[in-house]
Amino acid sequence: MNFFRSLLLIAALLPLAAQEPSAYERNSKGWKNLMPKPSLKGWQRGAIPPANPLSPETQWKVENGVLVCTGDKGHDWLFYKQDYGDFILHVEWRYTKLDGNPRYNSGIFVRTPADYSFWYQVQIGSASGGYIFGVGPGEKGPQRFNLQKEMKEQRVKPAGEWNVTEVIARGNNIQSWINGAVVSELSDCRTPRGRVGLEAEGFRIEFRKILLKPVK
């Protein structure tokens, strides 16, 4: 094992940096509960990409107050039927643990138009969850971006454990906060408003809290 691999191993064994409380923990007042009812009223499914056929059977359901994505009906997203601009979105989630070491995959969308013409996603996969990527308006049309390499640290817990993600959108700035710290930040978001939503991409994932608080 060379010197640099040794450093990486030591870093992986060290505890995470001191955690700060979530915005919801600091002040639990003023939040809107977006957790859907079993009917999924107020929410809508959309195909990814939009030109793809949407499965006639939903892979989203509510069981005992928990929103479950079974992950077995193709690539789509479930989005709330209201546009938001500046806000904090608080989401608590976990994957169902599988044998082996699969690359768990899902995401949290913010400021994404219902037609999916542009999209902004916080990746909540396993190996490098927390970074922001997507497609936004560019000078010559839609422009893809990916902030994975700029991610500050990896804070996603192993499959089977609950994670807390908060996405903070203010003006042109979007931050991704994972389990105690901001890990990714987009400073030039050119889409002022859009939908919030959740991604289905092949894995079973559960959501036990979805809260939104408008901010100024």
pLDDT per position as a tens digit, 69-114: 999 999 999 999 999 999 999 999 999 999 998 999 999 999 999 9
Is the residue at 175 inside a domain? yes
The tens digit of pLDDT for each residue in 104-152 reads: 999 999 999 999 999 999 999 876 789 999 999 988 889 999 999 999 9
Q: Which domain holds residue 73?
A: 20-214
Is the residue at 4 inside a domain? no
- Domain with residue 46: its CATH number is 2.60.120.560
Is the residue at 26 inside a domain? yes
Q: With a cut of 60, say whether residue 4 has pLDDT above it.
A: no
Is the residue at 9 inside a domain? no
Is the residue at 187 inside a domain? yes
Q: Which H, E and C letters describe the chain, residue by residue? A: CCHHHHHHHHHHHCCCCCCCCCHHHHCCCCCEECCCCCCCCCEEEEECCCCCCCCCCCCEEEECCEEEECCCCCCEEEEECCCECCEEEEEEEEECCCCCCCCCCCEEEEEECCCCCCEEEEECCCCCCCCEEEEEEECCEEEEEECHHHCCCCCCCCCCCCEEEEEEEECCEEEEEECCEEEEEECCCCCCCEEEEEEECCCCEEEEEEEEEECC
Task: Tell me how many domains the chain contains.
Answer: 1
Is the residue at 2 inside a domain? no
Is residue 122 within 8 Å of 167, Cβ to Cβ? yes
Is the residue at 45 inside a domain? yes
Is the residue at 152 inside a domain? yes
